[in-house]
Amino acid sequence: MSASSRALAALGLTAGLVAGVLAGCFSEREATGPAEGECRFPVSDDILGSTVVVIRRFAFGPAEVRVRAGDRVTWINCDEDGHTSTADGGEWQSPLLAPGEAFTQTFDAPGEFAYHCEPHPFMLGRVIVE
C-alpha cells in the first residue's frame, strides 16, 4: 500500500467517525440506532455541517431530524442496497443512491416534510425545519 492510499484510507475512517458521531447526536439513544464505525464516507463540505441521516438496514436513522431554516441534511447510504430520499410532497428527490453515496438537501423554509425511499416505500422519515 502506498503512502497516498494509506492517507486516503485514514481520511475515510475519520469521515466515517464524523458521520457516526453526528448521527449519534441526533439519535434517541435507542439500541436500534445506527451502528458506528462500519460506514466510511469521504469528508466533503456537504457532509461537514450537515445533519446526517444514515441509511442502514432499510431504515433512515434517525427517522426524524430537526433543523433550522437554512440548514442542510445529508443522507448517507451505509446499506448494501440502493435507496433514495424522496419527499412525499415533491420538495426534493435524490437520485438512487448506491452503497457509499450521499445526497444533500438544503431546507430554506420552516415546515414539516415527510419523505420515503422510492424503491422501498416502507422506509419513512421526517424532516422538521424550525
State the number of binding residues for Cu ion (CB under 5 A). 4
DSSP 4-51: HHHHHHHHHHHHHHHHHHHHHHHS---TTSPPSSS------TTTTTSE
Q: Among residues 81 and 91, whose Cβ is nearest to Cu ion?
A: 81
Question: Whole-number minimum distance, CB 114 to Cu ion, in Å?
Answer: 15
The whole-angstrom separation of Cα 118 and Cα 11 is 31
Q: Among residues 55 and 129, whose Cβ is nearest to Cu ion?
A: 55
Q: Among residues 71 and 77, whose Cβ is nearest to Cu ion?
A: 77
Interface positions with Cu ion (CB under 5 A)? 83, 117, 120, 123
